[in-house]
Amino acid sequence: DQQVKQNSPSLSVQEGRISILNCDYTNSMFDYFLWYKKYPAEGPTFLISISSIKDKNEDGRFTVFLNKSAKHLSLHIVPSQPGDSAVYFCAALSGGYQKVTFGIGTKLQVIP
């Protein structure tokens, strides 16, 4: 039972355009959401997060949007750069639980 779902396994975007990565969740107890970026043969690195009390969080070229009623969040990368090519994991945390639940990841390719 996947509580965090990333339904698009891959995405290709032209350099300079917007990349939109989507994530859905089923557990209404999740109160914090995170995006991690992973290059091949490396560990994931934290990218950006958002609390369930907010609907938007922005950090430079990266913005995460949260729609609690739809149990949906998205990561926007503007403008996309070739160095953004990686696998992006959506993750969620519920208070009191000592673990992060990850989606299966979306592989982003930014084409120069």
With binding defined as CB under 8 A, does residue 43 bind another protein? yes
Phi/psi region, residue 105 (left: phi>0; alpha: psi -120 to 50; beta: rest), is left
- Residues 52 and 58: their CA atoms lie apart, in Å, by 14
Give the binding-site size for another protein (rule: CB under 8 A): 28
Binding mask 23-42 for another protein (x = CB under 8 A): --------xx-x-x----xx
With binding defined as CB under 8 A, does residue 11 bind another protein? no
Binding mask 52-71 for another protein (x = CB under 8 A): --------------------
Choose the stretch contacting another protein; rule: CB under 8 A; options: 10-18, 55-63, 78-86, 91-99: 91-99
Angle 18-19-24 from CA coordinates, rounded to 5°: 135
- Residues 58 and 37: their CA atoms lie apart, in Å, by 16
Which member of 26, 45, 67, 81 binds another protein (CB under 8 A)?
45
Candidates 99, 62, 87; CA nearest to 77 is 62
What sign results for the dihedral spanned by CA atoms 84, 86, 87, 89?
negative
Binding site for another protein (CB under 8 A): 2, 4, 6, 9, 31-32, 34, 36, 41-46, 49, 51, 89, 93, 95, 97-105
